[in-house]
C-alpha cells in the first residue's frame, strides 16, 4: 500500500476528485495513513468525511476494510461504485461534488469556530467561505505556508 506520511505533508485537497467524487481522494489518503501509523493530526471519519459516507451509504468501517487490502485509487473507486448501497448516477455524483465545494458552517457554534479559525490563520482574509477553503488553507499553513 502506498500510504502517505501526513506528518510530512497534507492529504490531497478535498477538492480533488476521483470518479467525480470530491472528498474521496483525501479520505483514502487519511485511511492509508491511519493504517500505516502516519496520520499525524489528521482524523479519518471526521464530519467532512461524513458527507461522502452519507452520500454513498458506505460505512467508514467498510471502506477502511477495503483500504486495508492495499489496492490503489482506481480499484478503490471501482469498489465504491460496485459496493455503495446508494447507487448514484454520474450526474448525481457531479452535482453532489459541486455542492460539497460550497458547503459552509451552518450552525451558530460552527460559524463562531470558523471565524476563530480565520482569525488564527489570517484575519485579513476575506476569501474564505466554506469548509474546503478552510481545509486547504489550514493544510497549507500547517506545513509552513503563509496564510
Q: Could you list the residue range(s) of the whole structural domain that residue 125 is in? A: 104-147
This prediction's pTM: 0.93
Residue whose C-alpha cell reads 459496493 in the numeric block: 83
The alpha carbon dihedral of 138, 10, 23, 30 has a sign of negative
Q: Are 143 and 9 in contact (CB under 8 A)?
A: yes
Residues 98 and 108 in one domain: no
Domain count, the chain: 2
pLDDT tens for residues 11-30?
999 999 999 999 999 999 99
Comparing 31-40, 90-99, 101-110, the range with the smallest average pLDDT is 101-110
- Residue 57 pLDDT level (bands cut at 50, 70, 90): very high
Residues 29 and 2 in one domain: yes
According to DSSP, residue 22 is labeled S
Phi/psi of residue 104, each to 5°? -125, 180
- Residue 87 pLDDT level (bands cut at 50, 70, 90): very high
Residues 45 and 98 in one domain: yes
Hey, how many other C-beta atoms are within 10 angstroms of the C-beta on 125? Answer: 12
Amino acid at each position: 500500500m502506498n500510504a502517505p506520511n501526513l506528518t510530512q505533508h497534507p492529504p490531497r485537497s478535498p477538492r480533488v476528485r476521483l470518479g467525480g467524487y470530491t472528498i474521496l481522494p483525501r479520505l483514502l489518503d487519511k485511511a492509508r495513513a491511519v493504517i500505516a501509523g502516519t496520520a499525524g493530526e489528521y482524523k479519518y471519519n471526521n464530519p467532512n468525511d461524513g458527507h461522502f459516507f452519507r452520500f454513498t451509504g458506505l460505512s467508514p468501517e467498510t471502506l477502511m476494510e477495503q483500504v486495508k487490502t492495499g489496492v490503489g485509487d482506481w480499484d478503490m473507486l471501482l469498489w465504491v461504485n460496485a459496493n455503495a448501497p446508494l447507487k448514484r448516477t454520474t450526474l448525481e455524483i457531479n452535482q453532489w461534488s459541486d455542492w460539497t465545494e460550497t458547503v459552509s458552517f451552518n450552525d451558530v457554534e460552527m460559524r463562531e469556530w470558523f471565524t476563530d479559525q480565520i482569525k488564527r490563520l489570517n484575519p485579513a482574509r476575506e476569501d474564505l467561505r466554506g469548509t474546503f477553503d478552510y481545509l486547504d488553507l489550514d493544510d497549507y499553513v500547517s506545513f509552513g505556508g503563509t496564510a
